[in-house]
Amino acid sequence: MAAHRCSCWSWLLILFSLSVFVVADIHETTPVNDHHGGVDHNAQTAEQTADQPAVEERRWEATEVKEAATVDAAADIQGTSAPETVVPSSVPQPKDDFQEELVIRPLHSGDIYASFQFRTLWDTDFMRENKVSHYRLFPKSLGQVISKFSVRELHISFTQGYWRTMQWGQPFIPSPPGAELWVWFQDSVTDVDATWKELTNVLSGIFCASLNFIDSTNTVQPSASFKPLGLGNVTDHSFLRYATLPREIVCTENLTPWKKLLPCGSKAGLAVLLKSEKLFHSSFHSQAVHIRSVCQDWQCKTTSWELRQTLNSVFDLHNSGQTKREWSLFKMFSRTLTEACPLASSSKLYIDITDNPQGEQFELSPATSLLSQAVVLGDRRTFSVYDLTQETTFGTVRSLNLLIRWKSNEGEMLRPLLHAERYVAGYGLQTGEIHTLMYNNHPYRSFPVLLLDSVPWYLRLYIHTLSVTSKGKDNKPSYIHYEPSKDRVKPHLLEMLIQLPPNSVTEVTVQFERALLKWTEYPPDPNHGFYVGSSVISSLVPSTVAMHTNSTRERPLFSSFFPCKEESSYFVRIYTEPLLVNLPTPDFSMPYNVICLTCTVVAVGYGSLYNLLTRSFQIEEPNPGLAKRIANVIRRMRGVPPL
């Protein structure tokens, strides 16, 4: 029996020794093989590099896979060891990704349009029962908002200034002056209005804005506008809410929490250029946050959440004190680029050189040989690309200060095919008329537009006076949706589908009556006026080039935000100016006069009567003379009663 136990223990000891030997052998042979493979690869790459001559000709931007291979080869040439770069197959790849881009477009007026794009993708499900607890690149504050309020899509923007379409062209992502918020909720939300109210209060705290003033009086439920930009063909618009605050002022306290949502903050990458004193000194400034679900591949087998943070700014040539048409990163932002965000998989700077193919309009320094083409807003644009993930981009000084110097003032900007204006007509403080002008500058094609107007309740619309005219003739809308307002409860909502004839101006007019508010409903500066939000115009505009429908093609972020529905058209959304309307305002000095008069009457009349009724009167004898007082003193000394 003892011998049997000894034999069992012997066999176990032998098996254990063999297993340890095999594991040790594997750990010893694997790095050696990888190292030899890396050496061979380095030798081949070095030979290829030596054989290729150095050329200064421009080259087109490669795809993402080729760029990654080039980066790996460059790392091997620099002597990076293979065991440090090889990732074991057992380690799971991160499910999130971060990209950053800056697009600079020189305008014909001498101004500069700068557009920042930051995109974070995360393959996760915020709607599952066990809440997401680990966040790497995606901001936790927004992830909790999506999970708690069952948000399908969220779009919020803060804008200071008005985008001048006829001078600057179409922006990459439009936004109205003030604050704009529109949200699609999941079908599981039972009380949309209560969830919407709570969501606005939470977002007000996150972005340090006045979104808590959004209530039922400035919230509408569009029936045709603002379709989802992400996945899902939602037809039930009861889960959509839209609101604007046209008087919202954008300042540093809104920019700071916006920058904190970035993975690198404002410490590295393109975000170091976001200096508040420079951005808010520009002619136009807009910052936005867009959250939606997108496909990860062209077959859409897997989906992920996309957080896209955008910031657009236009730097005016005259307001900045420039004496000549010359711009640089330091003149625009008071800073230069020194590195990319370490957490970004892609960090690029694009310069629009479409109108400067041979360098006759302006000079770009330092020059780059990498070019890229993209169809942006129906026009094929050419860009010079600076890859910030490459050390050669920054040169020997480890700093990139891009310089744009104009050579000629000639050249014409491509006139936008669609733009709109709006103003208030009439006289007096009782009635008025709202005019909306929509311009179709296409020479031979007509296209429909969807117009959305949200008018506050204190402007009582006369909907029977609504008229739509094009080229002096009536233009009957093919679709009209109108919801009347209710005093102090909800605003007017008007949606119309109008066909714009080619090369025409379509005018939409409607009359209104001004309401008389209660004296407690007026703001502190009632004579300044009351703001009415911008009109929203959505349309599929005919494109100048055929849109590329292959979704797997690598494209810049600024060219892929709005989906393309047709090959010959592109989607565009524009906003008109906000309106400033005067309402009948009482003389607020009269209450002050009444209060002063009342206080005077109370103080003089009632005060005197109260004093007479409550005061006690006593009769005092006149003071005796000096001789009598001396006599009384002598009498007291003698013990005799005084006189």
What CA–CA distance (Å, rounded) separates 120 from 133?
17
Tokens read off for 395: 């040169």
H or E element that contains 10: helix 2-51
**pLDDT tens profile 160-195:** 999 998 888 889 999 999 999 999 999 899 999 999
Cα–Cα distance measured from residue 199 to residue 152, given in angstroms and rounded to the nearest whole number:
13
Which pLDDT belongs to residue 13?
Answer: 52
> What local confidence, expressed as pLDDT, does residue 109 receive?
78
Q: What is the rounded distance in angstroms from the CA atom of residue 445 to the CA atom of residue 541?
A: 9
Least confident of 134-138, 414-418, 580-584: 414-418
Distance CA 340, CA 348 (A): 9
Weakest-pLDDT range from 247-256, 391-400, 496-505: 391-400
Q: What is the pTM of this model?
A: 0.76
Beta-sheet strands, E only, within 107-253: 112-122, 151-160, 178-185, 219-220, 240-245
What is the model's pLDDT at position 562?
A: 62
d(CA 62, CA 66) in angstroms, rounded, equals 6
Q: What is the pLDDT of residues 74-114, one digit of tens each?
A: 334 333 333 333 434 444 566 889 999 999 998 877 789 99
Can you spell out the DSSP letters for 302-324?
SEEEEEEEEEEEEE-TTTTT-SS
Confidence bin at 396 (pLDDT 50/70/90): confident
Distance, in Å, from the CA atom of 463 to the CA atom of 470, rounded to the nearest integer, reads 19
Which of 4-13, 46-55, 122-131 is the least confident region?
A: 46-55
* Run of H or E residues at 424: strand 418-425
Tokens found for residue 468: 């739509």
**Identity of the highest mean pLDDT range in 189-198, 298-307, 382-391:** 189-198
Per the structure block, which two tokens stand in for 296? 């990860």
The mean pLDDT of 203-210, rounded to a whole number, is 94
> What contacts 291, CB < 8 A, 6 or more positions away?
142, 146, 151, 153, 154, 155, 305, 306, 307, 308
% of the chain beyond a pLDDT of 70: 79
Q: Which residues contact 512 (CB under 8 A, 6 or more apart)?
A: 431, 432, 433, 434, 455, 459, 460, 461, 462
pLDDT tens track for 559-579: 666 655 445 788 999 999 999
Query: 38: which 2 tokens?
Result: 């890396």
pLDDT in tens, 423-478: 999 988 899 999 999 999 988 889 999 999 999 999 999 999 999 999 999 999 99
List the structure tokens of 508: 């939409």
336, 329 contact by CB (below 8 A): yes
Length of the chain: 643
**Least confident window among 56-70, 292-306, 400-414:** 56-70
Residue 105 backbone dihedrals phi, psi, to 5 degrees: -120, 110
3-class SS letters over 240-271: EEEEEECCCCCCHHHHHHHHHCCCCCCCCHHH
Q: Which helix (H) or strand (E) holds 35?
A: helix 2-51
Please state, in angstroms and rounded to a whole number, the distance separating the CA atoms of residues 297 and 161: 38
Mean pLDDT to the nearest integer, 114-143 = 86
Q: What tokens were used for 609? A: 């009567």
Closest to 330 in 3D by CA, of 230, 404, 237, 407: 404
Count of CA atoms in the C-beta half-sphere (13 A) of 410: 3
Token pair belonging to 130: 């066990």
β-bridge partners, 294: 304
- Contacts for 423 with CB less than 8 Å, ≥ 6 apart: 434, 435, 577, 579
Residue 258 burial (CB count, 10 A): 22
For residue 358, the tally of other CB atoms under 10 A from its CB is 6
